[in-house]
Amino acid sequence: MIIDRLYESVKNKGSVCVGLDTSPEYIPNCFLKEHDNLEDGLFDFNKRIIDAVSDVCACFKVQIAYYEALGLAGLLAYKRTLKYIKNCGCISIADIKRGDIANTARMYAKAHFTGDFESDFVTLSPYMGFDSMEPYLDYVRDFEKGIFILVRTSNKGAFDIQYMEDKRGIKVYRHVADKVCKIASYYKGKCGYSSIGGVIGCTHVDEDAALRRDFGDMFMLIPGYGAQGGTAGDVAVYLRGGNGGIVNSSRGILLSYKKHEDGEKKFDMYARDEVIEMREAIWNAAGIRNE
């Protein structure tokens, strides 16, 4: 199952997930000017990042909104980026956050698990109900695909709905986590985790240790590190022996070159340095040492 590949990738290369939320304004001007069109500039920037960090990160998360906003040129770069990640033998997460039902959900599943936009994992929102997950499950079972379901996100607005409580004082996101684990139990890999995991933001630390304790079998996609304020100590609580989750960083990695005078010419190498530094910080916080 795809979760076994991801588990091994974390074991061998660390828990960093590199977010390719690539906006033209993130790309050095001198690099963009070397290209005849925006599609090539976006893809070549991503390619340089992937080549520089693929041996020190667990996977790549590609946020589709950054590419949709640029029209056809952006979507072509998105397509080429996903294909390149696959050809490199790496794991991709399409951050699409879809959450529709019935035929619409079937079309979304087909669009992002096959064809031009094929990825290994997708992110989904469960807030229309868990029947919105159903069309994706065949791909998880039969085609080595995976899902990360939004449980508790890292934004301030998480308190608007996710933190609402029932009569017993149990928060909404806890109910979501419980349902995710029940569905996930049918799709477990040899590593003990499931190809259906949860998105758990690291910027709200009220129940961090309790979440990992109570939902120990959940493999977690952990956003919020770096630019959103999360620290290595915040995310380490969600890991078990340094595994059981991946920690996403996007802007912190893509824009790391801006901290250096010669950064524009070596943006890929500074991205690599940032990933290694992040990986080491998480290992240290989790009590793990690179052997």
Q: Name the residues annotated as catalytic.
A: 97
Tokens for 2?
A: 């795809």
Q: What's the CA gap between 14 and 78, in Å, rounded? A: 25
Give the torsion through C-alpha atoms of 155, 159, 161, 164, to 10 deg.
150
Query: What amino acid is encoded at 111 in this protein?
Result: A
Is 103 exposed, middle or buried, given 0-12, 13-18 or 19+ CB atoms closer than 10 A? exposed
**Residue 158 structure tokens:** 């998480």
Please name which of 284, 290, 279 lies closest in space to residue 59, comparing C-alpha atoms.
279
Enclosing H/E stretch for 148: strand 146-152
Q: Please say whether the beta carbons of 37 and 70 come within 8 A.
A: no
Question: Which alpha helices (DSSP H) does the chain contain, by range?
Answer: 2-13, 29-32, 38-53, 64-68, 71-87, 102-113, 134-142, 158-161, 172-184, 208-214, 232-236, 251-254, 267-285
Q: Tokens 């070397």 label which residue? A: 34
**What totals of helices (H) and strands (E) does the chain contain, helices first?**
13, 8
Torsional class of 154: left (φ above 0), alpha (ψ -120 to 50), beta (otherwise): alpha
Contact present, 61 and 71 (Cβ < 8 Å): no
